[in-house]
Every structure is written in structure tokens, then in C-alpha cells.
Structure 1
Amino acid sequence: MAGYESGEITTAAARPDKNRFRRERFQGRFARPRPQRSPDRERSIQRRRTLAATWPMPPAMAGMLTTSQVAYARIVADEVKRNGDCRLTLDEIAARGGMCRKTAKRAQDRLAELRWIDVDHRPVKGRKHLPNVVRVVSSEWATWIKMGPKPRPIGGHLCPTTENQSSKTFNVAAAERPQGALEGVRRRSRAPTGPWRR
């Protein structure tokens, strides 16, 4: 103590703990996962509203759901149109629909509660479960999907559109017109008509 008080013995500065941040980041194998957050909330809301505005089901059925639930129905309808059923995981549906996983799960439970879809759970013992198989059991909705337009890729998601709709994401070639066609129409429209025409 006398040496420390007199200053003959100096103390070295404590070394920083390099693994402290690593230990704080890794909280164990069974730690609670961090909540899912969208990197661009406004863009996610716009995507969700756009999907809900494409009429994935009859208006009477869509009026009983929220915007997120209709967006979930849009993604399921596209998969049913292409493959006959939907085998996407809830995380994939949530990423495509601009929502979180819990919202997608609540939308799935709501449609199953209304008996519009049938959810087949596929658990695997000791391993990660297989994705659920979602099938449309509502005859009215199945007819709507069958008679609807063919899905087209829009923004990384298959979204049905009409044949005459154009978008920046489509490769729409400009229509070729013969030269002088528009001038001929203008000359004919300016030509005088009536008994005084020679």
C-alpha cells in the first residue's frame, strides 16, 4: 500500500474486453428472437395496399377482411393459380406482402376461421417443420381465382393485371406505324365536304 500511495508502483490501465459485445449479441440458443422490422416502412405499407387493391377475391368477401389480410389472400391466390396450393412459409408471405410474420399468421388464422382456406400443418419431429400447405376450399373464391387474369411479375411478386395495363416494369414495345399514316388522316379530316366540293 505504501508503494501505491507514494507512486513507486504504477498500475496498468485495464484492457478492454473484446468479447463483451459478442457476448451481449449472442444471448444463448434459446434466446427470444428480435422483432421483425421493415427497413422501409412506407414502402411496405404501399406494397401491402397495392396488393390489397388488386381484387384477389369477390368484394363481398374482401369487405370482411383488413388490408393486410387481403394482401395475404392476394399472395395465396397467386400461388393457387400457379401451383394449385400455397406452400410458402409465413416469412416469405410476410416479406412479399409488406407485413410482419405475426400479421401473416393472424391473416391465415382469420381465413381459416371463415372456412375459406384449409391449412395443412406438417410438423417434423426433432427438425424444422415443413411449410404449411394452404388450399382454397371456398367455391366462390376458387371460381374467382380460376376466372381471374394470369399472374405477371410485378416488383418481385406475381400480381395479376389486365391485358391492356401498362407499367414501367413491363417490356412493352412501341407500336410501329407506317410513315405518313397520321398525315393522311389529318388531310382527310380537313378536306371540305358538301355539295360545293369539286
Structure 2
Amino acid sequence: MSGRWPVVIAAGLAAAALASCSAFRVVTHEVNDDPAKAPAGIYTLDPRHSSLIFDVDHFGYSRFVARFDEISATLDAKPSAPATSRLNVTVKAASVDTNVPELDRMIAGKDLLDAAKYPDIRFETTTLRRTGRNSGEMTGDLTMHGRTRPVTLAVTFNGAAPDPLTGEDTLGFSATGHFNRADWGLSAWWPAVGNDVKVSIQAEFVRERG
């Protein structure tokens, strides 16, 4: 037998053991939905497991759904004093995605978002209020199209735990809210397109090592 076979066999056994261990961690994985028990620290958004979706009325027939594809965010989580936690989000206006390329260009263009002049949409928290075991209200300043206005979101803390695959401290939120786009000077195409914009957010954050 070649001298390399024991090494190959050992590597194969180690890989199998690692896979078995990972599978066990995945199957037994649980999260704690009490935000007060989440590890404190600075968290960074995981864009692979997050989404920002919005919808608006279209001629009264339906609510047209779209999303933004480029989002970054940091969360300064202080579970012992949640009201002092802070979230900062940046969305690239040009990353709007309606699944219709021509419409994407129109929304990002001068008639609406004017992404060339105002490339970033920003949200910064001003107040946080816990309303239940894993629920709360988050109010912040939304800056878009050169204007800043307050927006309040209903937030659900989904849970926190080490990721079963990476071991990194991870937590997740869901949030919903709505605002009048005309307040930001974005009233183009009304009444064909409604002014009430509803947003739905799913976000996973990973704690920075330090």
C-alpha cells in the first residue's frame, strides 16, 4: 500500500467526522428570542441572508413589489439597555430591482430617485422602544433624495445564537413599516403609482470579532 493512503484515509475520516458534527449542530440548533440575552457588541449585516422589499399600489390592480440589492448596515447592540442600541443602514439607490431592467433605470433616474445625484439612501435610529418579549418599535431618520424625515418600523427580534456552521454570534430581525414617498419629493407618476410605500425587511447580523 502506498505510503500516502493512511494520510488519505485519515483525512477522509476527519472530513466525515466534521460533516457529522456540523450536521448535528444544524439539527439541534436553537435561537433565543429574548433580545436582552443576545451578546453585546458591534454587528455587521450579512447581505446574503437579508432583504429589503417594498411595494406600492399600481392603478388599484395590485401592489407592485420590488427590492434593493445592495445594502450595508452596522448594529451597535446593547441588550442590557436596548434603548441605547443604534442601527445605521446604507442602501444604494441604483440597486433597485423590479425584475424589469427598463423600469429599474426609470426609478433610479432623474424622475424619481435620481441615484446619480443621491446615490445613498440612509436610515439612522433615533429611538428604540421594547413593546413585548421579542417586539419593539424603531424610529429613525430616513434620508432619501436629499431630504430627511422620520420613519417608524415595527420590529420583531427573531433570535440570537452562534451560527451552527461558523460559530459566529449571529442575530436576526424582521421589520415592517410604511411612509408617504411624496414627503421626500418622490411624487412622480402619481396616481398611477401610489404614494404609500410599504417596506418589509429581513436582516441577519454577525458580531464583529475584536
Same fold (TM over 0.5): no
Q: Select the structure with the greater relative contact order (CA < 8 A; seq sep ≥ 6).
A: 2
The structure whose residues are more often strand, as a share, is 2
TM-score normalised by length of structure 1: 0.27
